[in-house]
Structure 1
Amino acid sequence: MARDIAVFIGDNGTTTYPEEPGQVVIYRRQQGKWRQVSAMPFQLERASGITVVRRQVTGLIQWLGHCHIFVALSVSGLLYKELEQADFSIWEFSGRPTDFLEYILVQEEMASRRNEPNTQAAPAVIETGPGCFQVSLKDIQQSSGGLTSKQVLQPLLAGNYYLVEVLCSHIPPWLEAECISGRLDYKTERTTNGIKLIIRKQRCG
Structure 2
Amino acid sequence: MAREIAVFIGGNGSTAALEEPGKVVVYRRQQGKWQQVGETAFCLNHTSGMAGVRRQLAAMIEVLGQCRVFVARAVSGLLYKELEQADFSIWEFSGRPTDFLEYVLVQEELAARQPAPAAAPAPAIVETGPGCYQVSLKDVQQSGGGLTSKQVLQPLLSGNFYQVEVLCSHIPPWLETEWACGRFDCKAEKQVNGVKLVIKKQSCG
* Same-fold call, TM cutoff 0.5: yes
Aligned twin of 1:59: 59
Which range moves more in the overlay, 47-56 or 171-180?
A: 171-180
Which range moves more in the overlay, 105-114 or 157-166?
A: 157-166
> How many Å separate the matches in 2 of 1:197 and 1:171?
11
Contact 2:46 2:53 in 1 (8 A): yes
Contact 1:125 1:135 in 2 (8 A): no
Aligned twin of 1:153: 153
The 3-state SS of whatever aligns with 2:137 is strand
Contact 1:19 1:45 in 2 (8 A): no
The 3-state SS of whatever aligns with 1:57 is helix
The 3-state SS of whatever aligns with 1:91 is strand
Distance change >3 Å, CA 177–CA 19, structure 1 → 2: same
Aligned twin of 2:21: 21
Distance change >3 Å, CA 197–CA 162, structure 1 → 2: closer
Contact 1:163 1:198 in 2 (8 A): yes
Distance change >3 Å, CA 89–CA 170, structure 1 → 2: same
Task: Give the Å deviation of 1:62.
Answer: 0.7
Which residues of 2 match residues 104-115 of structure 1 at below 5 A?
104-115=104-115
Structure 1: tracts of 5 or more residues without a match: none
> How many Å separate the matches in 2 of 1:50 and 1:123?
26
Contact 2:18 2:72 in 1 (8 A): yes
The 3-state SS of whatever aligns with 1:102 is helix
Distance change >3 Å, CA 161–CA 177, structure 1 → 2: closer
Q: State the superposition RMSD in angstroms.
A: 3.5
Task: Give the Å deviation of 1:108.
Answer: 1.1
Which range moves more in the overlay, 77-86 or 58-67?
A: 77-86
Q: Given residue 71 of structure 2, which amino acid in structure 1 is its aligned partner?
A: V
Number of residue pairs aligned between Structure 1 and Structure 2: 199
Contact 1:185 1:201 in 2 (8 A): yes
Q: Given residue 84 of structure 1, which amino acid in structure 2 is its aligned partner?
A: E
Task: Give the Å deviation of 1:167.
Answer: 3.8
Aligned twin of 1:89: 89
Deviations 1:107-152 (A, max 9, x none): 2112211253x7443686697x884444247547xx5x46443113
> How many Å separate the matches in 1 of 2:91 and 2:174?
11
Structure 2: tracts of 5 or more residues without a match: none
Distance change >3 Å, CA 194–CA 14, structure 1 → 2: farther
> How many Å separate the matches in 1 of 2:163 and 2:21?
36
Aligned twin of 1:199: 199
Which residues of 2 match residues 97-176 of structure 1 at below 5 A?
97-116=97-116, 119-121=118-120, 131-136=133-138, 139=142, 145=145, 147-157=147-157, 158=159, 162-165=163-166, 167=168, 171-173=172-174, 176=177
Question: Percent sequence identity over matched residues?
Answer: 54
Distance change >3 Å, CA 123–CA 81, structure 1 → 2: closer
TM-score (norm 2): 0.75
